[in-house]
Structure formats: C-alpha cells, structure tokens
C-alpha cells in the first residue's frame, strides 16, 4: 500500500531507504526504486526503547527527510531520536512533537483508500494544490534470478508437482487480522477440488492448521490436487510462486495485495473489511463482497464492521459466498 508513495518520491529525485520490520522487509526489496532496506525492532506490544535508540544513533546525519507511514507513537520515535530534520506523517497517536510536518487523521467515515492515505504524504511541503494525480496502483518487480532460485529450492521437494509458469494455482486462505476476514476452509477446499491445475496453499505458520484442513478436504475429493506450503516458504519464495501462478484466490490479506502488484489474475473474497478501503488495485482482480450484491437478501447492513470476529456470531458476509460463484470467477 505504500509503494505508490515511494514511487512518487523517487520520481522527483529522492533516494529511498526503507525502515521495515523483518516480516515485511522482503516486500520492500521487491519494490522498484528502493535503494536500501533497514530492519526495525519488531516485538509486538513492546516499545523496545533501547533498540530504537541504538538504531537512531546509527542513522544520525544520514537522512534529510523521514516519512512515517504507520500511525503509532513508537513508529515516529526513531526519526525523532535520529534528529532527522524533516519528519512527515499523520498526527496519529499524539505525535505533535515527534513529527514536524503533519496531516490530520481522517475520520473513519471519510477515510480514503489506504493507497491514497499514504500517497498524500508526498504532498506535504510541495507547492500547488493538495491533490493526488497519476497511477496509484502498487507495483512489485521480481528479478528473474530470484524467481528461478525460488523454484530451484522448491523443486527439491518430492511431494510437489513440477512448477512452471501458469501450471498451478495459488490459494492464500489466511488473514492475520482475524476469522471475520477468512472465507471458510470447506469453501476453499470445494474450489480446490474442482481446479484443473494443482493448487498450492500459501501463508504463514499461523495458517498451517487451516491449510492442513483445506488440503485434507480437497484431496479427499480429488486426490493429489492440493499442496500445503503454509509456513514452509520464505516471503521471497511465496512472491515467486504468486508471480508464476495462473490464478490466485485469497481473502483480504497481504498476499492479495502482492498478487495485485504483480499483475496476476486473482479473485479476492471480502467479509468484515471493505474493498472500497483496501482493494486489490489491479485490472486483473475480481472482488466478491456481498455488501454490494443487489441479489443478496437480506442485505448486510452490518458490513463492513472491521471486527476480528463477527459481533453477531453468524459471519454471513463470508459463509454465504458460495464456492461455485468463486470458481466461475476464477
């Protein structure tokens, strides 16, 4: 979601170093125009002040401007501690002193799509109207050698079919935010069992159990059709597999955005979140969201709720999306 911001900065001559946690550093290494990636302290729920201070000392004097994309207080600490002269971001969690150029946080009712939210930071300090223009679709670029290396590493596994461009389909059934963003496992399995190409399941180690369930159900109907790689690939390998896939099916997740940025034909299933806020920005993407389906009754007045778990206990926004509909879109 931040790639269009970085592209705009590079286009006007800025040299970009990205500070990112280890979990997403690989995403930035695949972004055209990023000169360097520095890994940040990433312990969830911890300030890690000592580690941030040590890193800030290493960064002093190296940068003119810092663009702080997350809204958290701790994300703005390192640029402030490093005494970077110009520190740009949204006001966020009471960051008046930490950031010296700020945009106000939009209300939940008026918040723009995330790509526009981040790209707007490029307008601060510029003359002229505060209005975004140009292509805001995220882009990723994988070097051919990286794709080849990923396939060579996976080819050593005897439990996988031969992987070649467009010879397989990728499913990403996870959504780290919570179950209200996950299409049911039995629905993924029903689609996998009817595909005419092998299905590879991708995700983190947290997705391993649900992917085991999907593979077991699919292979019980169509033996050898589905292969679980959740938690068994690096991010770089996952990107390579997505870039070579014939189709990608996913929930609203990080891998959904990767598929869009790589230009792979995809179907994205939305439940508690909104494709008006975080859509897969690709002409080759198809979205399923019952909230705007005029043929669905009774209408989903509760969607999007942005909850981790369905507050009403039924998760109709996901369970009522039939596998046959998704299969037809694929």
Q: What is the pLDDT of residues 191-243, one digit of tens each?
A: 999 999 999 999 999 999 999 999 999 999 999 999 999 999 988 899 999 99
Which residues are 228's β-sheet partners? 201
Evaluate whether 50 touches 29 at the Cβ level (below 8 Å): no
Same-domain pairing of 102 and 182: no
Q: pLDDT category, 325, cuts 50, 70, 90?
A: very high
Is 315 a domain residue?
yes
Same-domain pairing of 117 and 150: no
Is 110 a domain residue?
yes
Same-domain pairing of 149 and 67: no
Assess whether pLDDT exceeds 80 at residue 190: yes
Mean pLDDT (whole number) for 53-64: 96
Is 34 a domain residue?
yes
Residue 66, sorted as left (phi over 0), alpha (psi -120 to 50) or beta, turns out to be beta
Determine the Cα–Cα distance for residues 50 and 123; give it in Å rounded to an integer.
Answer: 33
Q: pLDDT category, 85, cuts 50, 70, 90?
A: very high
| Domain range for 50 | 3-123
Assess whether pLDDT exceeds 70 at residue 104: yes
Same-domain pairing of 114 and 153: no
Is 263 a domain residue?
yes
Q: Measuring CA to CA, which residue among 320, 319, 315, 321 is closest to residue 302?
A: 315
For residue 264, give the 3-state DSSP assignment: coil
Angle between helices 235-244 and 22-29 (to 10 degrees): 40
Determine the Cα–Cα distance for residues 253 and 176; give it in Å rounded to an integer.
Answer: 8
Q: Note the pLDDT of residue 304.
A: 93
Q: Note the pLDDT of residue 159.
A: 86
Same-domain pairing of 215 and 257: yes
Q: Note the pLDDT of residue 66.
A: 98
Mean pLDDT (whole number) for 86-115: 90
CA atoms within 13 A on the CB side of 121: 30
Lowest mean pLDDT among 35-49, 197-211, 236-250, 309-323: 35-49
Q: Note the pLDDT of residue 158.
A: 81
Considering only residues 275 and 148, tell me which one the structure prediction assigns the higher pLDDT. Answer: 275
Q: pLDDT category, 129, cuts 50, 70, 90?
A: low
Considering only residues 280 and 151, tell me which one the structure prediction assigns the higher pLDDT. Answer: 280
Angle between helices 235-244 and 144-155 (to 10 degrees): 100
Q: Note the pLDDT of residue 184.
A: 96
Return the CATH number at 237: 3.40.50.2000
Q: Which of 123, 155, 177 marks a domain boundary?
A: 123
Number of domains in the chain: 2
Assess whether pLDDT exceeds 70 at residue 39: yes
Same-domain pairing of 113 and 193: no
Same-domain pairing of 255 and 319: yes
Lowest mean pLDDT among 149-163, 209-223, 240-254, 299-313: 149-163
The average confidence (pLDDT) of the chain is 92
CB atoms under 10 Å from CB of 254, counted, come to 20
Assess whether pLDDT exceeds 90 at residue 301: no
Mean pLDDT (whole number) for 148-165: 84
At residue 83, φ and ψ (nearest 5 deg) are 60, 35
Q: Note the pLDDT of residue 46.
A: 82
Same-domain pairing of 190 and 278: yes
Determine the Cα–Cα distance for residues 121 and 136; give it in Å rounded to an integer.
Answer: 13
Assess whether pLDDT exceeds 90 at residue 126: no
Q: pLDDT category, 128, cuts 50, 70, 90?
A: low
Q: Note the pLDDT of residue 133.
A: 82
Q: How far is CA 57 from CA 60, 98, 152, 258, in A?
A: 5, 16, 40, 33
Considering only residues 146 and 178, tell me which one the structure prediction assigns the higher pLDDT. Answer: 178
Is 133 a domain residue?
no
Q: Which percentage of the chain shows pLDDT scores above 90?
A: 75
pTM of the model: 0.89
**pLDDT digit string (tens) for 258-285?**
999 999 999 999 999 999 999 999 999 9
């Amino acid at each position: 979601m931040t790639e269009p911001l970085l592209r705009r900065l590079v286009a006007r001559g800025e040299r970009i170093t990205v500070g990112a946690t280890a979990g997403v550093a690989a995403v930035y290494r695949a972004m055209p125009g990023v000169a360097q990636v520095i890994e940040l302290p990433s312990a969830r729920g911890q300030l890690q002040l000592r580690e941030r201070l040590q890193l800030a000392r290493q960064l002093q004097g190296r940068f003119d401007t810092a663009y702080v994309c997350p809204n958290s207080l701790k994300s703005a600490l390192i640029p402030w501690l490093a005494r970077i002269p110009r520190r740009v971001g949204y006001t966020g969690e009471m960051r008046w002193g930490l950031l010296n150029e700020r945009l106000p946080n939009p209300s939940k009712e008026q918040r723009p799509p995330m790509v526009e939210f981040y790209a707007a930071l490029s307008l601060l300090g510029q003359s002229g109207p505060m209005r975004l223009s140009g292509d805001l679709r995220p882009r990723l670029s994988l070097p051919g050698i990286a794709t080849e290396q990923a396939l060579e590493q996976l080819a050593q596994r005897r439990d996988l079919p031969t992987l070649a461009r467009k010879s397989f389909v990728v499913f990403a059934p996870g959504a780290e935010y919570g179950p209200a963003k996950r299409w049911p496992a039995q629905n993924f399995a029903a689609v996998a069992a009817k595909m005419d190409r092998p299905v590879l399941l991708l995700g983190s180690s947290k997705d391993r159990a649900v992917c085991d369930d999907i593979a077991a159900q699919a292979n019980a109907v169509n033996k050898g059709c589905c292969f679980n790689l959740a938690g068994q690939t690096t991010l770089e390998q996952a990107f390579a597999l997505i870039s070579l896939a014939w189709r990608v099916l996913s929930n609203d997740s990080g891998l959904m955005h990767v598929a869009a940025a790589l230009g792979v034909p995809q179907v994205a299933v939305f439940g508690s979140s909104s494709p008006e806020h975080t859509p897969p920005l690709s002409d080759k993407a198809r979205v399923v969201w019952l909230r705007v389906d005029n043929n669905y009754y009774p209408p989903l007045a509760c969607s999007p709720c942005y909850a981790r778990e369905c507050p009403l206990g039924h998760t109709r926004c996901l369970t009522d999306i039939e596998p046959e509909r998704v299969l037809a879109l694929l």
